[in-house]
Each structure stands twice: as structure tokens, then as C-alpha cells.
Amino acid sequence: MIYLINEEVYRLNFFMENGFVRKECKSCKRHFWTLDPDRELCGDSPCVPYYFIKNPPTRRAYNINEMREEFLSFFEKKNHKRIKRYPVIARWRDDIFFTIASIACFQPHVTSGEVPPPYNPLVISQPCIRTTDIGNVGKTGGRHLTIFEMMAHHAFSSKEKEIYWKEETVAYHHEFLTKQLGIPDDEITYIEHWWEGGGDAGPDLEGIVRGLELSTLVFMEYRKVGNTYEKLPLRIVDTGYGLERFTWISKGSSTAFEAIYGELFDKFLKKFNLEKPDEKILCEAMKYSGMVDVTDSNSLMEYKLRVSKSLGMDIVSIERIIRPFEIVMAILDHTKTIVFMLGDGLVPSNVQAGYFGRFFIRRVKRLMDMLKVYVPISELLYMQLLYWKDQFPELMEKSDYILHVAELEISRYEKTIEQGKSIISKLIKNEEIQKNASIPVEALLKLYDSHGLPPEMVKEFAESYGIKVEIPEAFDAMVSALHSSTSTKKEEDILQGIPSSLPPTELVFYSDPKLRSIKARVLYSDNNRVVLDRTIFYPEGGGQLSDIGVMIDNGREVKVLNVKKSHGIVVHFVDKPIEIGREVECFIDWQRRKILSKHHSATHILIGAARRVLGDHVWQHGAQKDVDKSRLDITHFEKINDKQLREIENLANKVIQECRPIRVYFEDRNIAEQKFGIRIYQGGVVYGRKIRIVEIEDWDVEACGGIHCSNTGEIGLIKIIRTERIQDGVERLEFVAGEQAIRYIQSQEDLLNELSKILNTPIEHIRKTTINLVEELSKSRKLIESLREKIAQSLYSNLKPEVINGFQLYYGIFDLSHEELLKLASFIIKKDNMSITIFISKIDGTVISMIGSEAMKKGINAGKIVSNFVSMFGGKGGGKQDIGQGKIPLSKIQEIDFHKIKNSINDMVIK
């Protein structure tokens, strides 16, 4: 890497012509460019404190909306096209959950050169979510946020077309800061830096003013491959101007939160019955907050001492004043994050992106608990929605969903906590925990992650039992880190051993999907694989199974068992080899193809129906199109009820009856995204400049590689046969379509006919007959119960216990079932609290022992009695103190010698 960085990379004409000098920071040793020849420090934290607080360098103060507009319109005037924001959930990526930077909107398709950018150059203000700094939000006055807007101008230059590069980028930046905002030019420093992210890399310059890093200007031109760097096909200007920081510096307020949230901050404070701390204390505290390395406890202490000294107050008093204020800032930040996550369609759950929705909602509740205040979370979220409604009207449109789901999550959380107490009481009985009298961090993490129990609650509860709990500062960051990585499945290498020189297979199933047979040439074959020059066999993909069929090689039939595709080559898995170079005639199993395509089109119809019935947050989580039946997994926050299910089914069948055309075509990725939105990626991430679009007229549009019907009418019928909550936040719909649906309905009818025969009643009377039967059955059960009671009673009055040391021993072998023996034993122990019972069933060899309450207090153990007993006869059994159960082979029953048993119980009693 080092060889790529040298002074020359940063020595711009812009700097030379405008009189900038290159210096080394006395404190951090980084190099920077400045117009002030006397400057010794880079100007960034931690080398200098914030000195814009109460001392803004801009011509005037801007609120956040004014600042966004100032930026966007400045670059519009410089011929950049303004584009709309992307969602905060990065559905087009399989390596990250959230949009973490503006460039993430264009990765990997645009940055790899495969797809042209929507406009070039362009300007955007992109809301971004980053969860890694969650523990620091509030504590640093605004340096850390989980949600922020990255304003950016991007230019993508290629060999063929130069847009602009370093010189213009820095010139634009400088002009915006100085001419537009009025920041004195000698106050801006540019620090030299090297940037890497998402596998891309390049040099960058950081724009610093009065202790605050405002912007990063990245010149992305390398791709990291192993330990080396390769040139990218494009040179990309990747800038990031922190909207919140620009607003903050223009206001010079003590924290960024006051600048971002303005009156909303005051409203939150009022809701929580808190006063803003003394301005002087706040300013002092925040001035140095930029210098803290929050991961380093020494640095934190140093900072506290510094603030304490400059204010002449002790640390504890300062913290008591500042801490509640810090918590409110965190709540402000998190409630905004929740509004954007849910508004962009996230469904809280325990997995993937959904996990973070749940995590943030719970964290807000916990933060309020720390403040000892309670405000319904929906109220806070609604205040956020109102505050952002002019700039982000799309969020307000989703307000019903956002408020409902957040409250639902809180009520689930409260239930979890109720159940949590028993989980913790169990845990603290653990030997290791008892020995150390403390709960380790790993256990705390597990309690939160698997059971949803917040560490504060664990602490409070465990400490009342004398078990200590230390909650690490970085607890939430540790939890968040557990969930931060997305896993990408590794593809098996189906091409192993196949020459890489083979041309891509011609995909005739796409160009002519109605073709049932074709002649093709064998380009490669081994024992179980065949590659052809062209094929009509659809390879497995997008949740659709592959076609199967046969290849006829000179009259000889070769079965095609499975088909897969990799890197443009379709591999047919066959039962015997074919000579390379032969021409074969291929036939696909047309019946199977028809069913699979009906099931696939039915999936698209169903997702459209589910979205209309349940809401826009419904997203495909997974799908499997099989022959017998298919399934569609969708995100939804609660169990789908019967009424909704019927509505979905009815709506889907209505669409079928309307015979809407299903159009399949290739479209430029940019055009498709602009026309239909990110929603087209229901089936997951797709690659390529042109993507295959499957459009059901006015109903559903998806990027999909599957084989479909050409009209919804062809499907005939959809029947949902089952729903299941496969995980929190994901509902599974199992369904059948076409002939399979008819077959299913017929089988249901067969079942009814059979029942009618068994019950000997016409179908229309089955319901009534069954109700009567169930009632009779329950009456009979009650009768049996009372008969058993009577048997037990009469047996008891005939049983003579033996007295051993004050205990009454009841024993015997009976012609009774397991249930009846239990009845007898429980009858006895209720009557006689010094009783010890042991009974054996002649019917099946069951052994039962139960102990009266006083006998138990004296340490008699039923489980041990049974295990001693069965071990004498080669049986199995054991149990707890109050009840023991076991079984011995029936053949051993004659051998039972009750003397031995009495002796063993005698031993137990005397001990």
C-alpha cells in the first residue's frame, strides 16, 4: 500500500497555484495542506479541541434543511444532477444491511464499471446508518451518530470519458466552504490520508475547520486484491460532506444535536421533564469531547479531569448534570434511526437487518428507564415524523406502520422481561457463577442476544441475590458487532475440471420458452456432466428447480437429472457420458416445467397480494418453487390471521381470473430502478448492466431469472394450504397452483368423504356428529377418572403399610396400568404424609414411587428408590425427589423379592 502513497499524489495544482503549503502536524505527525504558514497543528481532533463552539466560522447559521439545500443547489449550478435518496436498507447489496455511505448506493454495479451511473456527475444527500458507534452516541456531543446524512458529489471517469478528478474536486470543495458558506480560507486544512472500504481504495483529503472534520474527498482508483492493489476501470470521485457537521459548525452550538434537531430537542427535554444544563458547563464539556478516544478509559479519564479543571467542579457533579442530557441525545438519534428503518420497510426480528430494528427500539426503552421516565415510544417517533415530514414525506406516509410496530415491539419486550426473571434465577444457580459471585460478560451478552434481557435488568435482579454484575461501557457495541456481518453463501464449483475455454451456453429457454425439444452439440462430457452449445434446460436458480428430461444420442437415452449454471456455462448432470462432438436431441419434462412455471408466477402474484393486504413492509424473505407445492416466506411483524389469509388468496385468484399479461424483458438496470424502485430486488441481489424484468401488469414487477407463464390466467387457481411463523418477523405461506391446486382440493374432498364413511353420517352432518363425539369422549374420560379414584380408594383401604422408623412403606405388584398406579400413589401420599410408596404394574412392568410431604423433608428420595430398584432387575428408571418412575422387564416380575426392597429403603431411612 505504502508504495502508492507519496507526496505527489496530493500535490495538486490547486494547492500550488493558491499558495497552500504542506506541513507535518506537531502532534499526530500527519501531513496537511494549509494557507497559514505558521500553523503547527493539523486542526483536527484530537490534536485540537473544537473551537467553533460559540464561535461559528460561517457567514450565517443554517438549519439542517437550509444546509442540505445550500449544498445540493450549489452543485446543481456546477452541472451536477440532483438525485433522490436511496433507502437506508441496502437491498441491492448482499454484503451489508444498511446504506453506510453515499457511494454504497452505487456499489458494486456502478463502481465495477458494469453499469453506468444514473447521472454523471451527480449530487445527493443520502441518509446513512452505521451501528458500530452506538455506544458513543450522545457522549461525544455529535461526533458519533447512528444516522446521518452524507452529502456527496460523485463523478465517474473512464478511459473513454473524463468527468473530473482531484483538481476540480478540491476546487469545488474549497469554493463551497469559502465563497458559499463564508468560512475564512486560511482556516481550512486538508489532511493527507489513505482510504479503503468495500474492497476499494485510494488517496483522500480530509477537510478540517476549527477542530471538526467536515468532509472527506476520496479518489477511488484501486481495488484491493489479496495484498496488492489493482487499478479500477473507473476513477471515482467519492466525496462525503457530513450534513450534521456542516449545520453544527454554522450554528456553533455546544452540541451537534441542538443544531440538527433544533426545537425538537427542546420538546424531547420537556417530555422527559428535564432542563437543559447550564450553557457554560455544556460548552466546556463538549469543547473537549472531540479529543476523547472513547475506547480508551485513560483518554476518557483525562478528558473528565480536563473539563473538571476548567470548570472548577468535581467530576461526579459534572457527570450528574451532563449524563441525562447525553441520554436524551442518544434517544433523539435512535428514534430518528428507527423512523428511517421502519419507514423504509424494515420488519423487526431476530435476524439480519431486522435485528437492528428490534435492538434500537429496545435500546430507546432502556435509555428511558435509565432516565426513570416513561413516554410511549410512538409519541417520540411521531414527533420525529413531524420534524422530518417536509424533507421526507415518504416516511410520514408510513406513520401507521411505524408507530404500530414500535409499540408492538415494546409490549413484546415487556413480556420478555417478565419471563426473564425465571431465566436469571436459573442462571445464578450455576456453580461457576455462585463460586465467583458474578455473572461474566459472555453470559450477559447471551442473555441479551438469545433472551432479549437488558444487562441493567440482569444487574438489578442478580444483585438482589448477592451476585455482582459489571456492564461494560461498550456493551451495546458488542451486541451490535455480533450481528454486523452478512454471510454470503459459498457457491460449489460445478465447473471443476471443465475447460475454461468453453463459450457461454446459448440460453434458448429464455429466447424461446415454449420450446420442448431441440438439437444441440456436446462441447464437453465426463461421467456425469454434459455441456452443450445451447440448451432448453432451465438451470436451478431464483428458488426455481431445474428442468429434467432426456438427451437422445443416436437412439440411446441419456437421463438429465439436474441442471445448474455457473459463469454463463450450463452444466447438465446426467446418468451416463456422451462422446464430445456428438449432436444430441434434447427433450424436457414438459409437465414438470409447466407446473414449475405456474408455481413461480403464482409466487409473484402472491407477494403482490400480500403487500396489498398486509402493507408495504412485506418483502420476500425466501421462496422455493417445487413440483408438489411451493412456499413463499415474507417479512411481517405478526402472525397472519385467517381473515387476512383469505383476503390474500381471494385477491391472488382475482388476478388470475383477470388474465393479466406477464411480460418478461431485459431492461437497463438504471431505467428499471428509476421506473419501479428497489422493490424489484424481491428475489435478492442480481448482477449485470441489463437485468431481466418479470412484470405482471399493474400488479408486481421483479428482477427475476425464472421461467413464467405468459398470462396469469394460465395458472388457473392458487390455493394457500398452510401458514407458519418460521421465525420472528417471517411468515411462511405454503401454496399450490394449477393442476396441483385442483388435486389438493380433491384430496381434501376425499378426506371429507372418508370421514363421512367412518362417522356414518352425510358430509353436511360431520360437524355436528364430531361435536357430539367429542362431548361424549370428554364425559367418558371423566367417568374413567372417577372410577380410578374409586379403585385407588378401595385398594388403599386394603393395603397394610409396614412401619420402618416411623415411615409408612406401601408396596405391591398390581394388575393396574401406569395411570392407575400413579393415581393410587398420589392418593396415598395425600392421606399419609409419612408415606413411602413403591408399586409395580403386572401389565407392563412400570415402577412408580411417590413420597409423602413429611417423608420428603426427612430426605427420602423417590427417584433414588426407583433407580435402586430397577437396577436390581435390569430395568431403567429414576426421577426427582417427589416422584420416581421406571420400567423392568415383565419376565423379572416373579423374581421380585420385597425383602430386598425393604432393606434398601431401610438403609436409606437410617442414613
Residue ranges for the known binding site are 600, 604, 704, 708
Min CB(706)–Zn ion separation in Å: 4
DSSP letter, residue 211:
B
CB-based contacts of 557, cutoff 8 Å, min separation 6: 550, 551
Select 428 or 718, whichever has its Cβ closest to Zn ion: 718
Q: Does 704 bind Zn ion (CB under 5 A)?
A: yes
Nearest in space to 739 (alpha carbons), one of 764, 757, 717, 760: 717
> Closest by alpha carbon to 690, among 114, 91, 111?
114
In whole angstroms, the minimum distance from the beta carbon of 290 to Zn ion comes to 12
Q: Which is nearer to Zn ion, 244 or 702 (CB)?
A: 702
Residue identified by cell 442414613 is: 911
Question: CB-wise, 46 or 577, nearer to Zn ion?
Answer: 46
Query: Nearer to Zn ion by C-beta: 680 or 838?
Result: 680
Calpha distance 801→716 (Å, rounded): 75
Which three three-digit cell numbers place residue 727? 421465525
Question: Across the strands, what pairs with 524?
Answer: 531
Binders of Zn ion among 206-265, rule CB under 5 A? none
Q: Locate all alpha helices (DSSP H) within 161-255, ordered by sequence.
A: 166-175, 243-251
Stretch near Zn ion under the rule CB under 5 A, chosen from 26-34, 126-134, 564-572, 718-726: 26-34
> Which residues in 469-508 contact Zn ion (CB under 5 A)?
none
Q: Would you call 704 helix, strand, or coil by DSSP?
A: coil
Comparing CB distances to Zn ion, the nearer of 684 and 812 is 684
Q: Does 104 bind Zn ion (CB under 5 A)?
A: no
3-class SS letters over 441-508: HHHHHHHHHHHCCCHHHHHHHHHCCCCEECCCCCHHHHHHHHCCCCCCCCCCCCCCCCCCCCCCCEEH
Contact string (CB under 5 A) for Zn ion, positions 653-692, x = contact: ------------------------------x---------
Which of residues 12, 23, 47, 153 is near Zn ion by CB under 5 A?
A: 47
Least Å distance, CB 191 to Zn ion, is 8
Residues 6+ apart with CB under 8 A from 41: 25, 26, 27, 47, 48
Smallest CA-to-CA distance from 589 within 563, 556, 554, 555 is with 563
The reply to whether 648 sits near Zn ion by the rule CB under 5 A is no
Minimum separation from the CB atom of position 658 to Zn ion (A): 20
- Asked if 706 touches Zn ion (CB under 5 A), the answer is yes
| Shortest distance in whole angstroms from residue 661 CB to Zn ion | 16
Q: Which is nearer to Zn ion, 168 or 734 (CB)?
A: 734
Euclidean distance between CA atoms 203 and 216, whole angstroms: 10
CA gap 163, 419 in Å, rounded: 61
Q: What are phi and psi of 631, to 5 degrees?
A: -140, 150
Is 42 near Zn ion (CB under 5 A)?
A: yes
Nine-digit cell string for 50: 473544537
**Shortest spacing between CB 882 and Zn ion, in angstroms:** 58
Element (H, E) at 242: strand 228-242
Nearer to Zn ion, 417 or 686 (CB): 686
Contact 47, 27 (CB under 8 A): yes
CA 503/CA 524 separation, integer angstroms? 11
Of 27 and 132, CB closest to Zn ion: 27
3-state secondary structure of 265: helix
Nearer to Zn ion, 25 or 651 (CB): 25
3-state DSSP of 300-319: HHHHHHHHHHHHCCCHHHHH
377-388 and 263-271 helices, crossing angle to 10°: 170
Judged by beta carbon, residue 39 or residue 271, the one nearer Zn ion is 39
The stretch near Zn ion (CB under 5 A) out of 124-132, 355-363, 703-711, 751-759 is: 703-711
Question: Does 24 help bind Zn ion (rule: CB under 5 A)?
Answer: no
E strand spans, 611-751: 620-625, 630-635, 662-668, 690-696, 700-703, 718-727, 730-737
Strand 506-507 relative to strand 534-535: parallel, antiparallel, unpaired?
A: parallel
Q: Which stretch binds Zn ion (CB under 5 A): 18-26, 357-365, 477-485, 814-822?
A: 18-26
Indicate the residue among 138 and 683 with the shorter CB distance to Zn ion: 683
Minimal distance in Å, beta carbon 696 to Zn ion? Answer: 11
CB 701 → Zn ion: shortest distance, Å? 11
Least distance from Zn ion to the Cβ atom of residue 620, Å: 9
CB of 708 to Zn ion, least distance (A): 8
Nearer to Zn ion, 25 or 447 (CB): 25
Please identify, using beta-carbon distances, which residue of 223 and 600 lies nearer to Zn ion: 600
Stretch that binds Zn ion, among 36-44, 130-138, 222-230, 891-899 (CB under 5 A): 36-44
How many chain residues are in contact with Zn ion, going by CB under 5 A?
8
- Residue 407: Cβ within 10 Å count: 16
Question: What is the rounded CA–CA span in Å between residue 371 and residue 378?
Answer: 18
Nearest one of 813, 809, 893 to 852, comparing CA atoms: 809
Residue with cell 393442476: 739
Region from 23-31, 235-243, 450-458, 493-501 binding Zn ion, contact rule CB under 5 A:
23-31
Residue 191 is a binding residue for Zn ion (CB under 5 A): no
CB of 704 to Zn ion, least distance (A): 3
CA–chain centroid gap for 264, Å, is 30
Task: Output the known binding site for Zn(2+).
Answer: 600, 604, 704, 708
**For residues 585 and 569, what is the distance between their CA atoms, to the nearest angstrom?**
19
Burial state string for 42-76 with b = 16 or more CB within 10 A and e = fewer than 16 = bbbbebbbbebbeebbbeeebebeebbebbbebbe
| Euclidean distance between CA atoms 386 and 378, whole angstroms | 12
Closest separation in Å from C-beta 235 to Zn ion = 29
Closer Cβ to Zn ion, 374 or 687, answer by number: 687
Of 28, 408, 508, 721, the residue at the interface with Zn ion (CB under 5 A) is 28
The beta strands (E) that lie in 752-882 are given as 802-804, 807-814, 835-841, 846-850, 876-879
**Closer residue to Zn ion in complex, CB, 483/611:** 611
Separation in Å, CA 898 to CA 116, 555, 744, 823, 839: 90, 81, 61, 22, 11
Site for Zn ion in 385-414 (CB under 5 A): none
- The distance of closest approach from Cβ of residue 253 to Zn ion in the complex, given in angstroms and rounded to an integer, is 25
User: CA-CA distance, 130 to 145, in Å (whole number)?
Assistant: 8
Q: Is 25 in the site for Zn ion (CB under 5 A)?
A: yes
Min dist CB 27 to Zn ion, Å, is 5
Q: How far is the CB of 247 from Zn ion (least distance, A)?
A: 25
Q: Which of 6, 13, 27, 853 forms a contact with Zn ion (CB under 5 A)?
A: 27
For binding to Zn ion (CB under 5 A), which residues are involved? Answer: 25, 27-28, 42, 47, 683, 704, 706
